[in-house]
Amino acid sequence: MIDRGGPRPSVGHPLGAEEDRTDDAGHPDTAAESSVRTDDRRAGSHQPLRASWDPIGDSTRRPRSPRPDRQVRKQSRLGRFVATYGWRAYAIPVLIVVTILVVVDAVRGGPSESGAYGDPGFGTRSTSTDGTGVIGVPPQGDGNYAASVPSGALPDGGPFTATGAGVWRVVPGAGPKVGQGTEQVFTYTVEVENGVDTSGFGGDESFARMVDQTLANPKSWTHDPRFAFQRVDSGDPTFRISLTSQMTIRDACGYDIQLEVSCYNPGIDRVVLNEPRWVRGAVAYQGDIGSYRQYQINHEVGHAIGYQQHQPCEADGGLAPVMMQQTFGTANNDIAKLDPEGVVPMDGKACRFNPWPYPRA
Render pLDDT for 101-121 as a digit per residue (tens, 0 to 9): 655 454 444 333 344 457 788
Rounded mean pLDDT of 269-288? 93
Residues 153 and 247 in one domain: yes
Inside any domain, residue 64: no
In a domain, 231, yes or no: yes
Residue 349, in any domain of the structure:
no
Per-residue pLDDT, 326: 94
Q: What is the CATH number of the domain that holds 271?
A: 3.40.390
pLDDT at 72 over 50: yes
| Per-residue pLDDT at 255 | 85
User: What's the confidence (pLDDT) of residue 268?
Assistant: 93
Whether residues 168 and 278 fall in one domain: yes
Separation of alpha carbons 359 and 223, rounded Å: 10
* Selection from 35-39, 80-84, 181-185 with the highest mean pLDDT: 181-185
Q: How many domains does the chain have?
A: 2
3-state secondary structure of 298: helix
Query: pLDDT confidence of 92, banded at 50, 70, 90?
Result: confident
Least confident of 41-45, 98-102, 355-359: 41-45
pLDDT recorded at residue 336: 87
- Residue among 167, 180, 218 nearest 361 (CA): 218
Q: Name residues whose C-beta falls within 8 Å of residue 338's C-beta, 6 or more positions apart in sequence.
A: 138, 141, 145, 149, 257, 325, 328
- Could you tell me if 85 and 179 lie in one domain? no
Give the per-residue pLDDT at 354.
Answer: 96
265 backbone dihedrals φ, ψ, rounded to 5°: -110, 100
d(CA 89, CA 240): 63
Max mean pLDDT among 16-30, 51-65, 89-103, 306-320 falls in 306-320
Band of residue 357 on the pLDDT scale cut at 50, 70, 90: very high
pLDDT at 80: 75
Is 81 in the same domain as 152? no
Supply the mean pLDDT for the chain: 79
Give the residue numbers spanning the domain of 271: 145-336
Q: Does residue 103 sit in the same domain as residue 181?
A: no
What does the pLDDT read at residue 50?
Answer: 54
Q: Which residues, in sequence order, are CB contacts of 71 under 8 Å at separation 6+? A: none
Residues 100 and 157 in one domain: no
Rounded to the nearest 5°, which phi and psi values hold at 178? -120, 135
Binned at pLDDT 50, 70 and 90, residue 165 comes out as very high
Q: Does residue 155 sit in the same domain as residue 239?
A: yes
Domain boundary among 63, 89, 108: 108
Please check whether residues 87 and 214 belong to one and the same domain: no
At 97, the amino acid letter reads V
What pLDDT band is residue 76 in, cutting at 50, 70 and 90? confident
pLDDT greater than 90 at residue 3:
no
**147 pLDDT more than 60:** no
Do the domain assignments include residue 187? yes
Report pLDDT for 29. Answer: 52
Shared domain for 271 and 328, answered yes or no, is: yes
Q: Give the per-residue pLDDT at 207.
A: 98
pLDDT at 194 over 60: yes
Strand pairing category for 227-231 and 239-244: unpaired
Q: How far apart are the first and last CA of the chain?
A: 125
- Average pLDDT (257-284) is 93
